[in-house]
Chains A and B, each alone.
Chain A
Amino acid sequence: GENVEQHPSTLSVQEGDSAVIKCTYSDSASNYFPWYKQELGKRPQLIIDIRSNVGEKKDQRIAVTLNKTAKHFSLHITETQPEDSAVYFCALSVRDSNYQLIWGAGTKLIIKP
């Protein structure tokens, strides 16, 4: 079945710098790509999502880019702040899995003061 590879597993950046997390996939029929943020002990929360008919979407300091040809999508966080520290999960919706979400393994983002 479909698999989503998420990299890196841990990312440490200086406060104010940018962070980029990348996910790659293999099923060209995937057409929905959400990103979730999970703080320690809390529930995952949707922070941004993108559909296959667009290549980029922005929401203030957060952006997602999608390259359907290369089959990867990335989360970009600019001007990082301490409250950005969390685990970030990518996911995608796959037709062959009845459109259920397939999840990446997560990236622990650490913002250094």
Chain B
Amino acid sequence: DGGITQSPKYLFRKEGQNVTLSCEQNLNHDAMYWYRQDPGQGLRLIYYSQIVNDFQKGDIAEGYSVSREKKESFPLTVTSAQKNPTAFYLCASSIHRGNQPQHFGDGTRLSIL
């Protein structure tokens, strides 16, 4: 959706390095989400946030961290503790928590150098 911007489109991580993926939305949505998608697989929830300054772990939060200091922004940091970070990362937002359509950004493809 034009209202959700993810950057960069491609990212390379060196061993031991932390990298941050950006997600910005101008839809005035309360809830935001981060998913990981491995090749040929479905979506797995990493973290989600229902409101500013609050976020919860999803199914695969280990090795990742997030912040939600502004309603429009929900950056994801892939830490060096995530030993297999190569994947397609998707950010999404919805009007409010649950029971609502989620709108996705174009994704960031992360690879290890």
Contacts and interface: CB of A to CB of B under 8 A. Distances in A.
**Chain B at the A interface: SS class:** loop
Nearest to B88: A41
A103 interface: yes
Interface in B64-100: 90, 97-100
A51 B105 CA distance: 24
Nearest to A94: B98
Interface residues of A, number: 20
Interface of A: 31-32, 34, 42-46, 49, 51, 89, 93, 98-101, 103-106
A43 B99 contact: no
B43 A99 contact: no
Interface string B36-52: 00000111110010000
Contact of A101 (B56, B102, B107): B102
A49 B101 contact: yes
